[in-house]
Structure 1
Amino acid sequence: MLFRVLGPLALETDEGEPHTPRAFKLRALLALLCLYDGWVASSEQLIDDLWSGAPPRTAATALQVYVSKLRKHLDGAGFEVSRLATVPPGYALKLAPHTLDLHRFDALCAQARQLRAQGFLEEAAQALAEALALWSGPAVADLRAVPALRRRGCRLDEKWAVAYEQHAETALLLGRHQPLIGELYGLIEERPTWEAVHGHLMVALYRSGRTAESLMVYHRVRRALADERGTEPGPLLQRLQRAVLSRDLVLEDATKPHLAS
C-alpha cells in the first residue's frame, strides 16, 4: 500500500487503486497517525488534534469508534491491520519502509545531498527530481481546516522548499539555466518574497544573456519585501545584484551557482 501526505491525503492499494477514506474525521485521523511516523500518539493528543482543543464529552468513545472504522477501511484495502496497533496510552501506525511518500521523499533528499557532496551532480539532480515529483500540492492540503494538520503541513512544505532550492542550485551547476527560467518565474509569482529563488532566477537570466531582466528580478523582490515586511533584501542577494551590475566573471562559473549560495 501507499500512503500519501505530500499533497491531499491519499491511500492506494498495492494494485494502484485509490482507497482514501471519504469521511473527514477518518482522513484526519489517518493523516495524524501517518505524521506521528510510527510513534505512539496518545489518545489525549489525538483527541486534542482532532477536535482542535475543544472536544465533546464523548470524544474518547468517538476516537475508539474512528479507530475501529479506520481499521476496517484499511483491512478492505488489503492492509495488515495489526500495524494500526493499540499501544498504551494510545495508538501507533507502523508502516513498512517506503509505503509513506514522506519517507521516500526524505530518503531521496538525503541521497541527493550525499551524491552532490561526492560530485555526482547528474545523479543528485535525478534524485531531487524524483523527490519533488512525489508532491501533488501543499502537504495534507485537504485537511488544513484542522489546526494540528495545518501546522504539520506547513512544516512539511518547508522541506519541499529546501529540496527545491537544492534542485535549482544543482540545475545551475549542470549549466541548465535556460530550462530553469520558466519554472522559477512561476514560483516567484506564488512566493514573491522567496529570496533564494529570486537569486537563482537572477543567475539563470544573467547566464542566458538577459542582464537587464536579471536586475529587474532583484528590484521586484526588493519591492515585495518592502511592501510585505518593511525590509530590504538580505546581504547575499545584495551581493548578487552588485555582481550582476559589474558583470562579475564569477557568475559565469558553473561550479558556483551564485554568490547567494
Structure 2
Amino acid sequence: MRFEILGSLRITDGKDVFTVTAPKMEALLAAMVVRAGDVVSMDQMCTEIWGDAPPRRAVATLHVYISQLRKLLGGADRGHGPIVTRFPGYVLELGDGSLDAHEFQRLAGQARAAFCAGRYQDASVACGRALALWRGTVLGELRGGPIVDEFATWAEETRLECVELGNEADLMLGRHRELVGPLYALVNKHPLIEAFHRQLMLALYRSDRRADALRAFQRVRSVLDRELGITPCRSLHELHQQILADDESRVPAAA
C-alpha cells in the first residue's frame, strides 16, 4: 500500500486508487499519514478536525471515523489495516507500505550529496525524480489543522530548495538556455526568492543575453524595494557588477 500526500490525499494498491470523500475523515487520515509511525493523540485529532470548538461527542465521533478508515484501509491492504490503537490515540504504521514524502526526502538527500561531491548530472537527475513525485498542492485543500499546516509549510520549502539545487546542477552542466524559460516562470511566481533571480541572471548572461541579465537585476531591485524596502543581497550585487564588467572569467557558472 502506498500513501501519497504530495498532492491530494490518495492511497494506491497496485492499480487500485482509494480516496476519502468525507472531509473530516480525510483530514483525520491526513494527520495520521503525515505523522506516520508516531502516535497522534485524541486531543490532537480533535484540534486537527474541529479546531478550538469540538462537538460535544467529539471522541465518540473520532472512534466512528477510525472504524470507517480501518475498513477502507483494511480492504485496500487485503484485510490487514495499518491503523493501530496506541495510548493516547492511534498510529498509522506503514509496514511494507510507502509514503511519497519519504521518497521525496530520500531523493532530495541524494541530490544534495551528489552536488556536494561534484556529480552534477546525478544531482540533476535526483532532483528531477524528486520533483516528479509532486502532483499539485500538498494535501490538496486540506488546510487549517496544525499538523497538516506544519507539514505543508515544510514540504513546500523543501520543494523550493530542491528546485534551486536542480537549477544549480543544470547551470554547472551548461544548460543555461534550457533554464531561461523555467526561471522566468519561477521569478514570476516567487518574486521575493533572490536565488531564482540570481540563477536567471546567470542563465541569461551565459546565453549571450547580457542586456536581459541586467534588466533582470533591475527588476528584482525594484520588486524588493517596493515590497520590503530593501536592496538585493550581496551575491546579486556582485553578479550584477561582474556582468557589467562583461568579463566571463569573473562570472561563475553557478553559486
Match for 2:22: what amino acid? A
Contact 2:27-2:49 at 8 Å conserved across structures: yes
Q: Deviations over 1:98-142 (max 9, x none)?
A: 710000000001111222223322112111100011112221132
- Cα deviation, residue 85, structure 1: 0.6
CA distance, structure 2, for counterparts of residue 225 and residue 137 of structure 1: 28
Distance 2:80 2:204 in 1: 53
User: Runs of at least 4 residues of structure 1 off by over 6 A?
Assistant: none
Report the CA distance between 1:145 and its aligned residue. 4.5
Aligned residues: 255
**Structure 2 counterpart of 1:13:** 13
What is the TM-score when the length of structure 1 is the normalising length? 0.91
CA contact (8 A) 1:184 1:201 kept: yes
Q: Alpha carbons of 1:79 and 1:154: their partners in 2 closer, same or farther (altered >3 Å)?
A: farther
Partners of 1:143 and 1:149 within 8 A in 2: yes
Report the Cα distance in structure 2 between the residues aligned to 1:177 and 1:106, rounded to whole angstroms. 27
Residue type at the aligned position of 1:11: I
Q: Kindly provide the amino acid, as one letter, of the partner of residue 248 in structure 1.
A: D
Contact 1:3-1:100 at 8 Å conserved across structures: yes
Contact persistence 2:36–2:93 (CA under 8 A): yes
Give the 3-state SS of the residue equivalent to 1:92 in structure 2: strand
Equivalent position of 1:4 in the other structure = 4
Q: CA deviation at 1:144?
A: 2.0
Whether the aligned pair in 1 keeps the contact of 2:47 and 2:145 (CA below 8 Å) is: no
What displacement does 1:42 show? 0.9
Task: Identify if the C-alpha distance between structure 1 residues 13 and 188 changes in structure 2 by more than 3 Å, giving closer, same or farther.
Answer: same
What does residue 185 of structure 1 align with?
Answer: 184
Q: What secondary structure sits across from 1:18 in the alignment? A: strand
State the shift of 1:251 in Å. 5.4
Aligned-residue Cα RMSD (Å) equals 1.8
Aligned pairs for 1:79-118 (under 5 A) are 81-96=80-95, 99-118=98-117
Unpaired runs of at least 5, structure 1: none
What amino acid is the match of 2:124? Answer: A
1:42 maps to what in 2? 41
User: Aligned partners of 1:233, 1:80: CA distance in 2, in Å?
Assistant: 58
